[in-house]
């Protein structure tokens, strides 16, 4: 694909405009999410239920969609502490590195 510098500039400007619209939409979605969470919290008695794993969650089933609000957990590992425990050689055996390319247009 061979395009001119002017066409490239046009494409980058269009991408920037689209990116700005996307940011606005993401902000609007976050605001709606806040409203939904507030509703679930304010209507605790009506929305409290149990999920398939037996954990309590908040849930609202609407006409077209369903909203659930439930606690989750995430575990992280201190890399330096693992290196101390396993040693450099042992750490290399369990280490996984991903490589990927990133496009940034600013």
Q: Considering the entire predicted model, what is its pTM?
A: 0.70
Per-residue pLDDT of the chain (106 residues; tens, 9 = 90+): 789 999 999 999 999 999 999 999 999 999 999 999 999 999 999 999 999 999 999 999 999 999 999 988 899 999 999 999 999 899 999 999 999 888 777 6
* Whether 12 contacts 105, CB under 8 Å: yes
**What local confidence, expressed as pLDDT, does residue 106 receive?**
67
| Residue 18 covered by a domain | yes
> Torsions phi, psi of 64, nearest 5?
-120, -20
| Residue 14 covered by a domain | yes
Q: How many domains, the chain?
A: 1
**What local confidence, expressed as pLDDT, does residue 59 receive?**
94
C-alpha pair distances (Å), 5 with each of 11, 17, 26, 65, 88: 10, 18, 31, 46, 49
| Residue 40 covered by a domain | yes
**What local confidence, expressed as pLDDT, does residue 103 receive?**
76
Domain containing 43 equals 5-70
**What local confidence, expressed as pLDDT, does residue 27 receive?**
98
**What local confidence, expressed as pLDDT, does residue 66 receive?**
92
| Residue 105 covered by a domain | no
């Amino acid at each position: 694909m061979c395009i001119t510098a002017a066409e490239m500039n046009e494409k980058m400007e269009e991408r920037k405009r689209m990116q700005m619209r996307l940011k606005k939409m993401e902000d609007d979605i976050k605001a709606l999410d806040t409203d939904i969470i507030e509703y679930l919290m304010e209507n605790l008695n009506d929305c409290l239920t149990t999920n398939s794993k037996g954990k309590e969650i908040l849930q609202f089933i609407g006409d077209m969609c369903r909203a659930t609000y439930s606690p989750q957990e995430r575990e992280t590992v201190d890399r330096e502490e693992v290196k101390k425990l396993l040693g450099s050689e042992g750490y290399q055996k369990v280490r996984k590195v991903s490589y990927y390319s990133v496009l940034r247009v600013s």
